[in-house]
Structure 1
Amino acid sequence: MTHSVVEHLERILEPLTIEGVWSLHVEKMAEYGFDRLFYGFTRFRTARSFGDTDDMIILSNHKQPYLDEYIGKGLYNHAPMVAWAAQNVGACSWRLIYDMMSSGTMTETERRIVELNHRYDIRAGYAVSFRDLSVRAKGAIGLCARPGLSQDDVDAIWEEHGREILLINNYTHLRITSLPFESSRRALTPRQREALEWVGQGKTMQDIATIMGLTPATVEKHLRLAREALEVETTAQAVLKASIQNQIFIAPN
């Protein structure tokens, strides 16, 4: 069933998980001819890196063997459209890739990425880079056109529907980054979340024990397990990382 843009934006307000929002977005983008998507968001960008992939939100419906090469081997770090997205905000046609090929300015690694894409029938699309408030944050999405569509076809689609596609993607990005993201191998338990929240509010260990009805030793146990789950060394780092991942100070489902 095809929904209007307004109806779709209303729909993506409903899910309380990133997976729920992503499912609706994949469905909507397919209506425009983009049947494979790759979304990435980091809050740990530096001048030379996007940070550890374990700390990123990475969402995709590409085939797993493709992702194993593209992400697993770190090729995304050298992809032309990723390089564009890192330095720009807005939308860009994948025609940029063909221009690089024809001008001879493409590196050997970039050519390997193009060859990988062609093996999986990834030949045309658009990139969208989002505006983020922090210099450490960066989000972008690659919209891959379904097989059979040329870059000319995609550019024509964008000419007609680009504004609404851009709006939907920006809205979806804001929705995804507002939801809890658990990147570690173990999710925080409700008690671990609560203990971190009280630390974030400036409460002492004794205060937290009284509020939670626990002994100080049990509170410290919850905080230690939270540090291990988040893979950080100090409780202050745990509060910061859990806050960045929207794992604390959230309303219950």
Structure 2
Amino acid sequence: MLSGFIEQLLDAPTIPDIRAVFLRAVGHLGFDHFFYAARFMLTVPKVLLRDNPVVFSNLPTELIEQAQKLRDLDQDTWVEWVRNNDGDIAAQDLQDLFGPSRSLALAASHGLGHARIISLRDKVLHSVGAVVVAPHPGADADHLRDCWTRSGREVRVLAWVMHMRIATMQRNLPKVTLTPRQREVLGWRSAGKTVGEIAVILGITAATVEKHMRLAREALGVETTPQAVLKAHVTHQLFQPAEASLTLGGKR
């Protein structure tokens, strides 16, 4: 059973497909509700790239809408715990140890106060994430404990696989905004060529090279050319991956 769900997660082509597989999997393991949130590429400065967080769940719409109105959720108790700890913990145990959580209290008001929180810290380099799973509304601490004792290992593995799969997917990065000439100029600049050398290579004037660099910086919303090179690279606008070969010596 576990291997089948893992295979489906690895084969899922889109994030909605991943969500559907994970929902079926944890439901089969006794958890009717879940919440997933993650942010990737944390080492890239925000001025260069804001990789949108990936968030999805099957929590009640009313609960989600109420949670969105809460302020400073990045400082909430369970979020702080996820950032600083590995492993998993029951929501009630977390609050007993580290203090109350506004979002977990809100979940409790919808009958989902007894949940298990899984930290995904360090499961993927330069990322942070968490999965929260809960049994049916109104489930008590004993029911959560029984479900986790029976299926906790499988839920953890599925959460890890889902998180790693999403990390490898093309997410909501900025759309391509550079012209072919701007990409060409930035490509040569990233190779260490000077403005004068790029002008000779491309057969244009140095002033035209400078113009393309300026327009590229403006399009990418950065201040310097090195920032433009980095942002163009991490948003897949600068270099295209080489076609892979599985034959010996890299030859077909």
Cross-structure match for 2:56: 59
Shift of 1:172: 0.8
Distance change in 2, residues 1:244/1:140 (3 Å): farther
Cross-structure match for 1:142: 132
The 2-side partners of 1:22 and 1:195 are apart by 35
Cross-structure match for 2:46: none
Which of 25, 28, 36 does residue 28 from structure 1 map onto? 25
Cross-structure match for 2:166: 176
Cross-structure match for 1:49: none
- The residue identity in structure 1 corresponding to 2:183 is A
Any residues of structure 2 matched to 1:1-253 within 5 Å, and which? 4-43=1-40, 55-97=52-94, 99-100=96-97, 106=99, 110=101, 112-132=102-122, 137-182=127-172, 187-188=175-176, 195=183, 198=187, 202=191, 223-224=216-217, 227-228=220-221, 232-234=222-224, 236-237=226-227, 240-241=230-231
Shift of 1:14: 1.8
Shift of 1:113: 3.4
The 2-side partners of 1:240 and 1:14 are apart by 30
Structure (1 or 2) with the larger CA radius of gyration = 2
Structure 1 vs Structure 2: percent identity of aligned residues?
A: 23
The 2-side partners of 1:236 and 1:61 are apart by 42
**What do residues 108-157 of structure 1 show as CA deviations (whole Å, max 9, x unaligned)?**
xx3x4344223333211111112427885322122233213222211111
The 1-side partners of 2:20 and 2:231 are apart by 26
Q: TM-score by structure 2 length? A: 0.68
- The residue identity in structure 2 corresponding to 1:195 is R
Size of the aligned set, in residue pairs, is: 226
Coordinate RMSD, CA, aligned? 4.1
Gaps (5+ residues) in structure 1? 47-51
The 2-side partners of 1:18 and 1:235 are apart by 33
The 2-side partners of 1:93 and 1:151 are apart by 9
Cross-structure match for 2:249: none
Gaps (5+ residues) in structure 2? 44-48, 203-207, 244-252
- The residue identity in structure 1 corresponding to 2:99 is M
Q: TM-score by structure 1 length? A: 0.67
**What do residues 51-75 of structure 1 show as CA deviations (whole Å, max 9, x unaligned)?**
x987422223334443344345335
Secondary structure at 1:39's aligned position in 2?
strand
Distance change in 2, residues 1:220/1:98 (3 Å): closer
Q: Is the 8 A contact 1:75 1:113 kept in 2?
A: no
Q: Is the 8 A contact 1:40 1:59 kept in 2?
A: yes
**What do residues 88-120 of structure 1 show as CA deviations (whole Å, max 9, x unaligned)?**
1111122314635xxxx735xx3x434422333
- The residue identity in structure 2 corresponding to 1:7 is G
